[in-house]
């Protein structure tokens, strides 16, 4: 375990060496940002709308008492969405979508000698392949989380409109009541950390792939599993520290 941790840290150090040519690396960062950000928008939109709607209906069901104001349901749905569902569920989904893509892309480059080709040319392969992915993940995943929060709350509103469990007015009043900006800060810190974990862990798994197609698949699976475990662990740590 310590051997792997050491290798991971050394790979990260190599990844952030001075680039051979900044413009080439910048173009790669932009390409990765489009791939990660725009490419993940659809899945994030779908899960956020449904999770927001389901959360609101469930909270309304649990609070169905004449003694409790229904605005509370909006408040609970808002905080759950901002603090937990949007950053964490989005990150777990992105570990599957973005992480597996990173691990399999780098792993395939390793087994087809494309990484060797980079090294022969004098290119710092970890820097060229990994750092743009980490930078793009750490910048795009927070943006995706903001989109997820917005759509999650919209999903809650739509659930109110169509289910009638809470009136839309109560829901909006609850969402606006006692809003604390710290919750959004926590969500964004989580998103940045999760972005780093997903990209770096999956890149590490891909970079040290050896063998063939089977091993590329195994690296991809390992990358996703380890990322998910680390996301949940980091979620707990950040929540404990910041709240």
Partner 1 sequence: MIEIKDIYKTFGENEVLKGISASFQPGKNNLIIGSSGSGKTTLLKCIVGLHEPTKGDVFFSGENFTDMNFEQRVPIRTHIGMLFQNSALFDSMTVEENIMFPLNLFTQKTKAEKLERANFCLERVNLAGTNKLYPAELSGGMKKRVGIARAISMQPKYLFVDEPNSGLDPKTSILIDDLINELTEEYNITTVIVTHDMNSVMGIGEHVIFLHNGEKWWEGSNKEIAHTDNKELNDFVFASKFMQAAKAKL
- Give least dist CB 169 to partner 1, A: 51
Minimum distance of partner 1 from residue 93's CB (angstroms): 24
Helix (H) or strand (E) holding 243: none
Q: Backbone dihedral region of 18: left (phi > 0), alpha (psi from -120 to 50 degrees) or beta? A: beta
- Kindly tell me which of 26 and 61 has the beta carbon lying closer to partner 1: 26
Helical (H) or strand (E) element with 222: helix 213-242
CB of 118 to partner 1, least distance (A): 8
Structure tokens at 182: 């710290």
- Alpha-carbon span 45 to 149, nearest angstrom: 10
CB neighbours (10 Å) of residue 180? Answer: 10
Which is nearer to partner 1, 48 or 131 (by Cβ)? Answer: 131
Distance in Å, CB of 4 to partner 1, minimum: 19
Question: In the complex, what is the shortest distance from the CB of residue 240 to partner 1, in angstroms, rounded to a whole number?
Answer: 40
Q: Could you give the CA distance from residue 62 to residue 70 in angstroms, rounded to a whole number?
A: 11
Calculate the alpha carbon distances from 93 to 6, 36, 151, 225, 227 in Å.
Answer: 28, 12, 16, 12, 11
Binding residues vs partner 1 (CB under 8 A): 20-21, 24, 108-109, 112-114, 116-117, 119-124
Positive or negative, the CA dihedral 116, 118, 119, 124 is negative
Nearest to 202 by CA among 43, 55, 15: 15
Which residue, 90 or 101, is less far from partner 1 as judged by CB? 101
Nearer Cβ to partner 1 (66/122): 122
144 burial level (CB within 10 Å; 0-12, 13-18, 19+): buried
Nearer to partner 1, 20 or 180 (CB): 20
Q: How far is the CB of 227 from partner 1 (least distance, A)?
A: 23
Q: Which is nearer to partner 1, 121 or 182 (CB)?
A: 121
Tokens (6 digits) for 42: 């659809």
In the chain, what is the greatest distance between 2 CA atoms, to the nearest angstrom?
A: 73
Smallest separation (angstroms) from partner 1 to the CB of 24: 5
Q: Which residue lies nearer to partner 1 by CB, 68 or 121?
A: 121
């Amino acid at each position: 375990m310590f051997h792997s941790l050491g290798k991971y840290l050394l790979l990260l150090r190599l990844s952030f060496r001075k680039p051979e040519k900044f413009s080439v690396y910048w173009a790669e960062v932009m390409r990765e940002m489009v791939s990660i950000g725009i490419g993940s928008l659809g899945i994030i939109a779908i899960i956020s709308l449904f999770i927001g709607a389901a959360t609101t209906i469930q909270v309304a069901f649990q609070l169905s008492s004449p003694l409790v104001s229904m605005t509370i349901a909006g408040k609970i749905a808002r905080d759950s969405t901002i603090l937990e569902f949007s950053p964490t569920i989005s990150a777990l989904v992105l570990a599957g979508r973005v992480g597996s893509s990173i691990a399999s892309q780098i792993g395939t480059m390793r087994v087809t000698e494309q990484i060797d080709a980079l090294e022969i040319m004098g290119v710092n392969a970890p820097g060229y392949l990994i750092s743009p992915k980490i930078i793009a993940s750490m910048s795009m995943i927070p943006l995706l989380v903001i989109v997820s929060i917005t759509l999650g709350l919209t999903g809650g509103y739509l659930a109110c409109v169509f289910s009638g469990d809470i009136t839309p007015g109560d829901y909006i009043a609850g969402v606006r009541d006692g809003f604390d900006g710290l919750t959004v800060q926590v969500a964004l810190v989580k998103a940045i950390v999760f972005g780093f974990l997903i990209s770096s862990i999956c890149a590490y798994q891909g970079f040290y792939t050896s063998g063939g197609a089977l091993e590329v698949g195994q690296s991809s699976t390992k990358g996703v599993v380890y990322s998910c475990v680390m996301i949940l662990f980091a979620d707990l740590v950040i929540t404990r520290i910041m709240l």
